[in-house]
Chains A and B, each alone.
Chain A
Amino acid sequence: MSDHINPDRDPNPIPELGDLAPEPGAGYWDAIDARLAAVEAERSVSEVESPLDVEAEQDFSDTRDTEADVIRLDDMISQRHYHNGRRLNGQTMMAAAAGVLLLILGGLTLNQIIRSSDIPSAVETAGGDGDSGEPSIAADGDVDDDPAADQTSDAGTVEDPAGEDETGGGDGATSEDGQAAESSESSDETAVESTLPPGATCYADDVYSMVVVDTMVELTLDEAELTRRGLGSGSELRAYAIRNDGTFPFGAIGTYFSDAGYEASMFEIDLDGEITGPVEWLISPDEVFTAEEGDPGMELADCADIDNAQELYDEALALPSPALVDGDPDVDSDSGAASPSPFDNDDYVHIFVGTQLVGVWDKSNASWQQVDPVDGAAEFVAADGFEVDSLQTIGTDNHNVVWQTSTAVVPTECSIERNNGLGLDRGEPNRLQVHGTPHRTILPQLVNEISATAEHLEAVSAVLDGVDVGPLALQAFQFDLEGDGVDEVLVEAVGQGADGAYSVLVLRRVGVDGTVENVAVHRSVAGEGEIFEHQVSTVVAIADINGDGNMDLATADVVFEAGGAGIWELTGTPTKVLSRLCGP
Chain B
Amino acid sequence: MGGADDYTRVVLTMIDKVADLEKRARNGEASAFGQLARMYDRDLRNVVWSVLRSPQMTDDVMQSAYERAFRNIGSFDGRSSVKTWLSSVCYRTAIDHIRYEGRRRHPSMDDENAAVSYDMSAASGGDLAVRVVDREQLSQAMAQLSADEAAILTMTAGLGYSYDEVASIMDIARGTVASRASRARRRLQQELER
Contacts and interface: CB of A to CB of B under 8 A. Distances in A.
Interface of A: 3-4, 6, 8-22, 24-25, 28-29, 31-33, 35-37, 39-40, 43-44, 47, 83-86, 223-224, 226-234, 258-260, 278, 280, 283, 287-292, 295
A484 B138 CA distance: 58
A472 to B, nearest CB: 46
A18 B43 contact: yes
B158 A259 contact: no
B179 interface: no
Nearest to A231: B72
Of the candidates B95, B96, B153, B163, the one having the most CB atoms from chain A within 10 angstroms of its own CB is B96
B50 A15 contact: no
Q: Which 10 A-B pairs have the closest CB atoms?
A: A85-B102, A17-B158, A18-B158, A21-B49, A233-B75, A12-B127, A36-B30, A40-B30, A230-B89, A18-B159
A22 B154 CA distance: 14
A287 B162 contact: no
Contact of A32 (B66, B161, B171, B172): B66
A295 B88 CA distance: 15
A39 B157 contact: no
5 contacts: A12-B185, A37-B30, A44-B28, A228-B88, A287-B64
A230 B50 contact: no
Centre residue among A17, A20, A223 by max chain B CB count within 10 A: A17
Nearest to A278: B99
Nearest to B168: A228
A4 B125 CA distance: 10
Contacts of A35: 63, 66-67
Interface in B55-72: 55-56, 58-59, 62-72
B158 A14 contact: yes
A205 to B, nearest CB: 12
Contacts of B160: 3, 9-10, 13, 18
Nearest to A18: B158
Contact of A85 (B42, B59, B93, B101): B101
Given A13-B158, A24-B59, 18 more contacts: A12-B127, A12-B157, A12-B185, A14-B127, A17-B46, A18-B157, A19-B46, A21-B42, A21-B49, A22-B112, A24-B58, A36-B34, A85-B103, A227-B77, A232-B72, A287-B100, A292-B170, A295-B171
Contact of A16 (B75, B77, B123): B123
A32 B127 contact: no
Most buried by B among A28, A228, A260: A228
B45 interface: yes
A258 B65 CA distance: 16
Contacts of A17: 46, 50, 138, 142, 153-154, 157-159
Interface string B75-114: 1110100000100110011011001111100000010110
Given A21-B49, A24-B45, A227-B75, A86 B171 contact: no
Which of A3, A16, A47 is most buried by chain B, counting CB atoms within 10 A of its CB?
A: A16
A461 B46 CA distance: 68
B71 A260 contact: yes
A495 B34 CA distance: 76
Given A20-B46, A20-B142, A9 B92 contact: no
Contact of B62 (A18, A32, A44): A32
Contacts of A234: 75
Nearest to A2: B160
A571 B160 CA distance: 63
Interface residues of B, number: 79
Nearest to B55: A22
A13 B124 contact: yes
B135 interface: yes
A217 to B, nearest CB: 22
A8 B153 CA distance: 14
A288 B96 contact: yes
B71 A259 contact: yes
Nearest to A20: B139
Given A12-B157, A39-B71, A20 B63 contact: no
Contacts of A290: 95-96, 99-100
Given A8-B164, A21-B58, A232-B72, A16 B118 contact: yes
B29 A40 contact: yes
A19 B138 CA distance: 11
A5 to B, nearest CB: 12
Interface in B155-194: 156-164, 168, 170-172, 181, 185
A24 B67 contact: no
Contacts of A83: 100
B120 interface: yes
A31 B58 CA distance: 13
Contacts of A287: 64, 96, 100
Contacts of A223: 75, 77
Contacts of A84: 100, 102
Contacts of B92: 229-230, 289
Contacts of A24: 41, 45, 58-59, 62
B74 A233 contact: yes
A20 B66 contact: no
A290 B50 CA distance: 18
A52 B25 CA distance: 19
A228 B86 CA distance: 9
B18 interface: no
Contacts of A16: 118, 120, 123, 135, 138, 158
A17 B155 CA distance: 8
B33 to A, nearest CB: 6
A14 B62 contact: no
A292 B92 CA distance: 10
Contacts of B118: 16
